[in-house]
């Protein structure tokens, strides 16, 4: 009906609603372009700096230049969205003056989106460049201290072996924690007047062990039990002291995870089970706990991830775990690169699990949205 | 002797008195219906009979044997008196067949094979034999409620408590559930039920009781309660129901 500029005869009462103008985008597109060019220049400068710092090392010379060229090329790829933003901004202005308001707004939106994309990647690239500068600063002092290739390769095998101790502690403690946590949670849910002492005991335990830092529990168990000369217990190895200590601490956390899961099961489920004649215990066992199980998995895995990391705390009682092993290397070489190796190993171990938790949480959210 | 006797039963939630001394008896093979406005205490009364709530006064007797207060074997009582809820409350992590067999096998000591055979027979009776392997979330509301009834029947209770079992259903699914209750009534099942389906109450009840703010104001045969209520408040309640087009 409307042919672009054609406007209905002006009606005094009902003036036509003026078309909404597109959001401004020219300046942003210019900023995007400038950002990309600036980042490319910084990349070249960083490459030159690295070249200067690395002469005489296997990384110097051609390798540095090749890396610099690749990085700069990568940054220049960002010209693609930046130029796109510029073109769209021009198209938007053209469409607006031609009276095609909707087209103008669409192009302006496209322009802003592209400009922000290129600026966002420039920020990421800038962060990486900053990191490189930090490593190179002071004649590579930072890099030499934390990322000395020689020390890293020297210590890698021993540290990886020692990591087996961490894994052993983590896996055994996780199994024990699952059982102990459930026992605590059920004690906390003990019914009736007769269950009160059990509930109080469970609450006291959970409060206590969540309040005291894990490292102190490990210290107390690891040095205290041998001193106390308790039969059997005192003769265990430091590894088992660590397992006991972490089980005591994490049992308290996991008890709360279970309890939240059990509380989350709808009260109608309990009423239905009880009305069929199931006892309190049978209701928990067949109806409530199985339903709590699923929703408990993600927070449980989260606690397991932090338990794994806390296995490094056992170095206070002298267990030769990965961290302690790396500290031996660090002391011998007066260099922290072996500790970096432990850090990297923990990262490699943890990240897949963190992603798994994310995946499970998302799956649960989807299931709930479906109205399960 | 009446099968179920509710004798001066009182129930408080904190300072709020929800049941103010209810007297009510249900003979064997009777269908007794509780009607009354929302919040009048129908659900609370049914839950008290099933010992899902403790009572604060009075007594409940089954075959003359007190089943309220300390010393009651509530699990035993619940085996004799089944209950079906407004919101079905099927166990979502179990198949229909497992839902039905759980109590007979784990509590009733029935061998698994026998329990499943019985369950299948009951499911066929309500037209759901083909859903035995399905999980509850695959079923319509009406189907779920029919399974819930079967689940209660599987323990071979002597009486059933039904708490507004059609209130959560789409209108076109109400009939399939009410038909089953009708059949149970014809077979002589003793039932105490709360409902807002007045037409159904009128048709199926041996006795209708009008509850008002925790007091049993009036009881009588359905023809009398619906046709010629004595109490002004019963009349006002029924008038509102008729205005809402539900009678
Ligand atoms: N767990 C509870 N805690 C406190 N108050 C409650 C509880 N359950 C019910 N009540 C109160 O008791 C009164 C009676 O509730 P009840 O559920 O028995 O009514 P009803 O007749 O079944 O109503 P409806 O027709 O809506 O189901 C209401 O005032 C309600 O708010
Ligand atoms: Mg109710």
What distance lies between CA B15 and its chain's CA centroid? 27
pLDDT at A358 over 60: yes
Q: What is the pLDDT of residue A368?
A: 66
Interface probe for A, chosen from B47, B50, B74, B89 (most Cβ of A below 10 Å), is: B89
Site to substitute for ligand 1 among B37, B40, B201, most atoms within 8 A of C-beta? B40
Q: What is the pLDDT of residue A1?
A: 43
Give the ligand whose atoms come closest to the C-alpha of residue B37.
Answer: 1
Q: How many CB pairs under 8 A join A and B?
A: 63
Handedness of CA B229, B232, B236, B237 (dihedral sign): negative
Q: What is the pLDDT of residue A3?
A: 46
pLDDT tens-place string over residues A150-165: 888 888 888 888 888 8
Mean pLDDT confidence for A86-93? 94
Are B228 and B207 in contact by the 8 Å Cβ rule? The answer is: no
Mean pLDDT confidence for A143-150? 83
Neighbouring-strand partners of residue B216 = B211
**Half-sphere exposure of residue A162, counting CA atoms within 13 Å on the CB side?**
27
Place of tokens 């794994």: A308
User: What is d(CA B240, CA B218) in angstroms, rounded to the nearest whole number?
Assistant: 17
User: What is d(CA B218, CA B230) in angstroms, rounded to the nearest whole number?
Assistant: 8
- How is A139-170 classified by DSSP, letter by letter? HHHHHHHH--HHHHHHHHHHHHHHHHHHHHHH
Q: Which residue of B has its CA nearest to A288?
A: B91
Tell me if B195 CB under 6 Å of ligand 1: no
* Through-space distance between the first and last CA atoms of chain A, rounded to whole angstroms: 49
- pTM for the model: 0.76
| Cβ–Cβ gap A276/B85 under 8 Å | no
Q: For residue A268, give the nearest of B79, B89, B155 by CB distance.
A: B89
B71 touching A (Cβ < 8 Å): no
Measured in Å, residue B38 CA sits from the centre of ligand 2 at 7
A287: DSSP letter: I
User: What is d(CA B227, CA B242) in angstroms, rounded to the nearest whole number?
Assistant: 13
pLDDT tens-place string over residues A94-121: 999 998 999 999 999 999 999 999 999 9
pLDDT tens-place string over residues A238-295: 889 999 999 999 999 999 999 999 998 999 999 999 999 999 999 999 999 999 887 8
- Percentage with pLDDT > 70 across chain A: 95
Cα angle B206-B207-B212, degrees, rounded to a multiple of 5: 155
B168 touching A (Cβ < 8 Å): no
pLDDT at A5 over 70: no
Mean pLDDT confidence for B193-222? 93
pLDDT at A9 over 80: no
Neighbouring-strand partners of residue B19 = B11
- What residues in A contact B103, CB-CB < 8 Å? 276-278
Which residues lie below 8 Å from residue A223, measured CB to CB, with a gap of 6+? A317
Tell me whether residue A132 is exposed, middle or buried, using C-beta atoms within 10 angstroms of its C-beta: 0 to 12, 13 to 18, 19 or more: middle
Q: What is the pLDDT of residue A12?
A: 54
pLDDT tens-place string over residues B36-82: 999 999 999 999 999 999 999 999 999 888 888 888 888 889 989 99
**Residue B13: how many CB atoms within 10 A of its CB?**
10
Q: In 3D, which of A246, A116, A85 has the Cα closest to residue A173?
A: A246
| Cβ–Cβ gap B91/A269 under 8 Å | yes
- What residues in B contact A279, CB-CB < 8 Å? 75, 107
More confident residue, A202 or A320: A202
| Cβ–Cβ gap A276/B155 under 8 Å | yes
Neighbouring-strand partners of residue B5 = B25, B61
Strands (E) located in chain B:
4-13, 16-26, 31-35, 57-62, 65-66, 81-84, 159-163, 190-194, 207-212, 215-220
Distance from CA of A95 to the nearest CA of B (A): 53
A58: DSSP letter: T
Are A294 and A360 in contact by the 8 Å Cβ rule? The answer is: no
Q: What is the pLDDT of residue A11?
A: 52
Q: Say what the ipTM of the complex is.
A: 0.92
Q: Torsion over CA of B198, B203, B204 and B208, rounded to 10 degrees?
A: 50
Average pLDDT over all residues of chain B: 92
pLDDT at A93 over 90: yes
């Amino acid at each position: 009906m409307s042919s672009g500029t054609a406007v209905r005869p002006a009606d005094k009462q009902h003036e036509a609603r003026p078309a909404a103008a597109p959001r401004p985008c020219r300046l942003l597109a210019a900023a995007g372009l400038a950002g990309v060019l600036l980042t490319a220049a910084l990349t070249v400068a960083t490459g030159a700096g690295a070249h200067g710092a690395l002469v005489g090392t296997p990384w110097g010379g051609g390798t540095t230049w090749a890396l610099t060229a690749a990085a700069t090329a990568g940054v220049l790829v960002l010209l693609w969205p930046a130029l796109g933003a510029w073109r769209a901004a021009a198209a938007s202005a053209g469409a607006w003056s031609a009276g095609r308001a909707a087209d103008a707004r669409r192009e302006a939106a496209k322009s802003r989106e592209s400009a922000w994309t290129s600026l966002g990647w420039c920020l990421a690239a800038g962060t990486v460049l900053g990191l490189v500068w930090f490593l190179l600063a002071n004649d590579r002092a930072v890099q030499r201290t934390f990322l000395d290739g020689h020390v890293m390769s020297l210590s890698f095998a021993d540290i990886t072996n020692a990591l087996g101790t961490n894994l052993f502690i983590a896996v055994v403690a996780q199994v024990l924690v699952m059982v102990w946590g459930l026992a605590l949670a059920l004690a906390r849910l003990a019914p009736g007047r007769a269950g009160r002492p059990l509930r109080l005991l469970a609450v006291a335990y959970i409060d206590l062990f969540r309040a005291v830092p894990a490292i102190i529990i490990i210290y107390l168990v690891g040095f205290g039990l041998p001193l106390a000369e308790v039969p059997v217990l005192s003769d265990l190895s430091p590894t088992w002291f660590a397992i006991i200590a972490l089980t005591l601490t994490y049992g308290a956390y996991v008890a709360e995870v279970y309890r939240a899961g059990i509380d989350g099961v709808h009260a109608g489920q309990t009423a239905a089970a009880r009305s069929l004649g199931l006892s309190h215990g049978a209701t928990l066992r067949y109806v409530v706990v199985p339903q709590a199980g699923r929703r408990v998995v993600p927070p449980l895995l989260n606690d397991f991830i932090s338990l794994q990391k806390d296995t490094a705390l056992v170095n206070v009682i002298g267990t030769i775990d990965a961290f302690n092993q790396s500290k031996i290397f660090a002391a011998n070489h007066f260099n922290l690169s072996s500790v970096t190796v432990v850090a990297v190993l923990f990262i490699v171990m943890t990240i897949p699990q963190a992603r798994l938790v994310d995946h499970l949480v998302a799956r649960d959210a989807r299931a709930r949205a479906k109205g399960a | 002797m009446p099968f179920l006797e509710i004798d001066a039963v009182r129930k408080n939630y904190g300072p709020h008195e929800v049941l103010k001394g209810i007297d009510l008896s249900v003979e064997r093979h009777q269908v007794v219906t509780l009607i009354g406005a929302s919040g009048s205490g129908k659900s609370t009364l049914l839950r008290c009979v099933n010992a899902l709530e403790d009572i604060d006064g009075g007594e409940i007797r089954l075959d003359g044997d007190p089943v309220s207060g300390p010393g009651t074997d509530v699990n035993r009582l619940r085996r004799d008196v089944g209950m079906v809820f407004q919101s079905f409350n099927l166990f979502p992590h179990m198949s229909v067949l497992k839902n039905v067999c759980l109590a007979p096998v784990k509590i009733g000591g029935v061998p698994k094979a026998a329990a499943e055979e019985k369950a299948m027979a009951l499911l066929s009776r309500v037209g759901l034999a083909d859903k035995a392997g399905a999980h509850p979330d695959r079923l319509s509301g009406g189907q779920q409620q029919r399974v819930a009834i079967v689940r209660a029947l599987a323990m071979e209770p002597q009486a059933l408590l039904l708490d507004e079992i059609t209130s959560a259903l789409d209108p076109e699914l109400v009939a399939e559930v009410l038909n089953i209750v009708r059949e149970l009534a014809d077979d002589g099942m003793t039932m105490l039920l709360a409902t807002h389906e007045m037409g159904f109450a009128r048709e199926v009840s041996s006795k209708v009781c009008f509850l008002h703010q925790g007091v049993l104001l009036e009881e009588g045969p359905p023809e009398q309660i619906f046709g010629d209520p004595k109490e002004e408040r019963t009349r006002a309640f029924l008038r509102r129901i008729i205005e809402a087009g539900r009678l």
